[in-house]
Structure 1
Amino acid sequence: MNQTVLGILQEFDLDTYRPIVPRSLNLGNALPPRAGNLVKVVTGMRRSGKSYRLFQEMDALLEAGVPAEAICYFNFEDNRISPATPQTGDAVLEAFRYLAQQAGANLDGIYLFFDELQEMKQWGSWLRRIVDTTKATIYISGSSSKMLSTEISTEFRGRAIDFELLPFSFRERLTMTPDGAELLKGPHFSPRLGARMQAMFDEYLTRGGFPAAQGLPTSQAIALLQSYVQRVVTRDVVERHDIARPRVAAALARRLMGLNGKQISLRKIENDLRSAGIATGRAYLADLLAYFEEAYLVFQVKEFSLSLSEKSTTRPKIYAVDPGIALASSRAGACERGQRLEDAVYLELRRRHPSMRDGGISMLHTKQHGYEIDFVVGDALEQEAFRLIQVTESMEDEKTAQRELRALWEALDETGLEEGLLLVGSGHETIYENNGRRIVQASAWKWLLDDSETGM
């Protein structure tokens, strides 16, 4: 028996991680253990809370009466078992059954929680064998968006379902405060409470939602968030994809953080890096960008075209996985509050529309004047827009107000939609009406707290 694996299993104590802050990501009811079960996969960037989401599920099983001896948790990122192999996985199950037997447990079915399983070589084929031969309910987590496509498509087509976990939303962040339940009662807030919520929202846009960054002094939070980016560069990009020029990867990551909420040009980034003495090429940068997106550090939002025959040449926008990590990891002044506000809205749209296929959240430029709409929620493949959303820091400036409104009015006219949403970082709420159509101007932080199905 592998004594290292046995020791790791004996060390684990769920009580050590309590209290567990509940996450809003719903994994559905736990499936009864059986061979051939559907595997539930929680994916997201490193340190976004995937382990604690597994702990939350384990807690629910214990409360439902599942004996602790029937639940196995193992983190394959533990450096004591590196490099993890299928033999390591077999050793985990052997040691788990041994401990259950020692405890006198008579197990009819087991619950397996495998954290960061992508660290195991050939993990897809190993897990498929376990699924087919073990009466179990299985949850796994991983830091790659490709876990259910490129990497295990042949082994797990139709046999697994993934759930994307992002860092804390603004609503989840408020639940951590002592009076969080009271704060979330809304939707009507007194002027005093509204001012407090606005201040907390400002802090959220600065610190972000990574769990471990909450409560730290600002300097420590910045250092922590910077280390997260460095770890993604090193572990998920350079080592995972055998990148020969890590300096290019690190430089690109920093520039992407500063471009949060903006359109990107790989040609310009290439020229900037060359000017800084870093030789690279656009094709190489495009590969690195794809790897960063795979690791959940950034997301690309592309143009929503209203004609299947049109091929958009519009440059995509880039959004960071968290507004705080973007601010901490970009050059001073490169990631302004308005960019982070837009980022927070985009991330919330991802949370509220998890079942949408690629292109479900897009940007739009109107045909007539090329006005930009920040977000179109809809089916890009079917060319059907459901909702138009514009985000701005404030509507106090008259030129800004005219720009945002004219873009929405023109987009509503071209899409045939009757209502648009204008989210403001600060300022009053109102409704604009014109020729049977209307634009609802709402506070961004109130919209982020809306826990209805669509939040719109």
Structure 2
Amino acid sequence: MVKRDSYLKRLIHNMWNGEVKVITGIRRCGKSVMLFDLFYEYLLSQGVPEDHILKFELDQRRYYKYRNPITLCEYVEDAICDKKEEKFYLFIDEVQYTTKVVDEENGGITVTIYDMLNELKAYKNLDVYVTGSNSKGLSNDIATEFRGRATQIHVYPLSFEEYYSHVKGDERKALDTYMLYGGMPRLLALEDEKDKKDYLTSLFREVYIRDIVERNKIEREDILGDILNFLASQISSLTNPTNISNALTSMKNEKISSTLVANYVQHTIDSFLISMAKRYDVKGKTYFQYPNKYYYTDVGLRNARLNYRQYDPGHIMENVIYNELMRRGYSVDVGVVTDRSKGKNLQKEIDFVVNDADRKIYIQSAFRMDTEQKTSSELASLMLTKDFFKKIIIRMDIPHNFYDENGIFHCNLIDFLLGRVELF
């Protein structure tokens, strides 16, 4: 089992803070293991009795009755009410499976799991933790539904550092494998290449697509699949719902509305399968509405979606960097700067504008810079900012890190992913 210390430390840090701890992330990324194994074992090591940790895995048949939030709440209250001097912990896995119910005893009002959790967290002897795989009604609405009293911890598939801590060996070989199959934890138990591919393909078909279709009552699963294919083939490229709808209209010989596409894309984002990076005008300090960039939460799932036909290491590398920056908790945008030299008015791109509170850096992703034209292109966007924020080019083709004559830091990809360099 991979020790996911960064998440465990956050859970420990937020114990008994008076808020519901909401652990979000794509299904099968390790949320349940994080809570029900790693954090559970930590609590036991601290002397917490097993029967003081109340566990409900709502995707398991034996817990189906507790999808009713009133039934769940009443069970918990019965367990803790007469023991106010003792500390209890409540774990609820896959909270999105709960249903809304009508409370006939209290005037027929509609009750949700959020109502029950807000009631339960008022108990001073109960610390509450829930996991969920869908941001719709969960992370997007945490502030509203939990009345500003929730702490979100978002879990990603294994980072390269976590992955490498398990496989060890040659770093470059490990990275090549990681960029092909990604970081879904279950892969660590699979050695055969075919087994890995079959597992990722099955995850996509049997878990993610089925979840999105059922949860959002999708009528055109074929269009959803086409959108996922399009986004997989366009990672690190700018696009928008209109471009996607035009491409699908041409391919399917039927009119596909951009509104339908926009809704389906949002469903993939809500499921944590896809992330969207907005474009940010570095000088104007404003956001553009469209186009944006879309990245897969796990590059192995992206590759599996395309049946490993489009393996572009440069684009995959950019996706890996984006995921790593997000995993570290930074705010990440796509930068836009305008080149007005020689009467031109050209927009140029900075791959990532990375913010950490009041600190900012610019990052370019460059698989290799082996020609003068490629070097000039990567440097030009950074130089156009004309400010003093740190500028970094993350590269695959350099053996060591260095600053160039423009003060730009050239960083080896593996050193970045393994945390050997300080970004800020």
The answer, yes or no, to whether TM exceeds 0.5 is yes
Q: How does 1:392-431 map to 2 (within 5 A)?
A: 392-411=366-385, 413=386, 416-417=387-388, 419-431=390-402
1:155 CA displacement? 3.9
Distance 1:161 1:123 in 2: 16
Matched with 1:125 is 115
- Amino acid of the residue matched to residue 34 of structure 2? R
Matching residue within 152, 165, 168 for 1:175: 165
1:280 CA displacement? 2.4
1:147 CA displacement? 4.5
1:72 CA displacement? 1.9
1:273 CA displacement? 1.9
Please give the secondary structure, in 2, of the residue aligned with 1:438: coil
- Amino acid of the residue matched to residue 270 of structure 2? E
Distance 1:60 1:422 in 2: 39
Q: How does 1:44-55 map to 2 (within 5 A)?
A: 44-54=25-35, 55=37
- Amino acid of the residue matched to residue 344 of structure 1? V
- Greater shift, 343-352 or 268-277, is seen at 268-277
Matched with 2:250 is 275
Structure 2 residue 38 is matched with structure 1 residue 38: no
Matching residue within 222, 229, 236 for 2:197: 222
Matched with 1:109 is 87
1:94 CA displacement? 7.4
Distance 2:18 2:403 in 1: 52
Give yes or no for contact 2:281–2:337 (8 Å, CA) kept in 1.
no
Give yes or no for contact 1:260–1:335 (8 Å, CA) kept in 2.
no
Matching residue within 298, 305, 321 for 2:297: 321
Q: How does 1:180-329 map to 2 (within 5 A)?
A: 180=168, 196-216=170-190, 217-230=192-205, 231-235=207-211, 237-277=212-252, 279-307=255-283, 312=288, 314-329=290-305
Distance 2:283 2:394 in 1: 27
Distance 1:310 1:97 in 2: 50
1:78 CA displacement? 1.4
1:252 CA displacement? 1.2
Please give the secondary structure, in 1, of the residue aligned with 2:335: strand
Matched with 1:68 is 50
Distance 1:42 1:389 in 2: 29
Which string of whole-angstrom CA distances, capped at 9 and with x for unpartnered residues, describes residues 226-275 of structure 1?
A: 2323322221x222122222221222122222222221232232122223
Give yes or no for contact 2:274–2:297 (8 Å, CA) kept in 1.
yes
Give yes or no for contact 1:261–1:343 (8 Å, CA) kept in 2.
yes
| Compared CA separation, residues 311 and 62, structure 1 to 2 (3 A) | closer
Which string of whole-angstrom CA distances, capped at 9 and with x for unpartnered residues, describes residues 376-414 of structure 1?
A: 1137xx9x7710100111122333222212222223x2x
Distance 1:213 1:310 in 2: 41
1:224 CA displacement? 1.8
Identify unmatched segments of 5+ residues in structure 2: 100-111, 340-345
Matched with 2:12 is 29
- Amino acid of the residue matched to residue 32 of structure 2? S
| Compared CA separation, residues 444 and 153, structure 1 to 2 (3 A) | same
Distance 2:287 2:362 in 1: 21
Give yes or no for contact 2:335–2:353 (8 Å, CA) kept in 1.
yes
Give yes or no for contact 1:423–1:441 (8 Å, CA) kept in 2.
yes
Give yes or no for contact 2:143–2:150 (8 Å, CA) kept in 1.
no
Distance 2:380 2:371 in 1: 14
Distance 2:15 2:351 in 1: 43
Distance 1:23 1:451 in 2: 17
Identify unmatched segments of 5+ residues in structure 1: 1-18, 184-195
Distance 1:115 1:429 in 2: 44
1:51 CA displacement? 0.5
Please give the secondary structure, in 1, of the residue aligned with 2:227: helix
Structure 2 residue 358 is matched with structure 1 residue 388: no
- Amino acid of the residue matched to residue 427 of structure 1? I
Q: How does 1:330-345 map to 2 (within 5 A)?
A: 330=306, 332-345=308-321
1:300 CA displacement? 0.8
Give yes or no for contact 2:142–2:150 (8 Å, CA) kept in 1.
no
Please give the secondary structure, in 2, of the residue aligned with 1:132: coil
Distance 2:32 2:159 in 1: 17
Structure 2 residue 343 is matched with structure 1 residue 362: no
Give yes or no for contact 1:249–1:288 (8 Å, CA) kept in 2.
yes
| Compared CA separation, residues 166 and 265, structure 1 to 2 (3 A) | same
Distance 2:47 2:119 in 1: 28
Matched with 1:444 is 413
- Amino acid of the residue matched to residue 203 of structure 1? T
TM-score by length of 1: 0.79
TM-score by length of 2: 0.85
Give yes or no for contact 2:143–2:149 (8 Å, CA) kept in 1.
no
Identity of aligned residues (%): 25
- Note the aligned Cα RMSD (angstroms): 2.9
- Greater shift, 441-450 or 250-259, is seen at 250-259
Give yes or no for contact 2:84–2:125 (8 Å, CA) kept in 1.
no
Distance 2:15 2:411 in 1: 44
Aligned length: 400
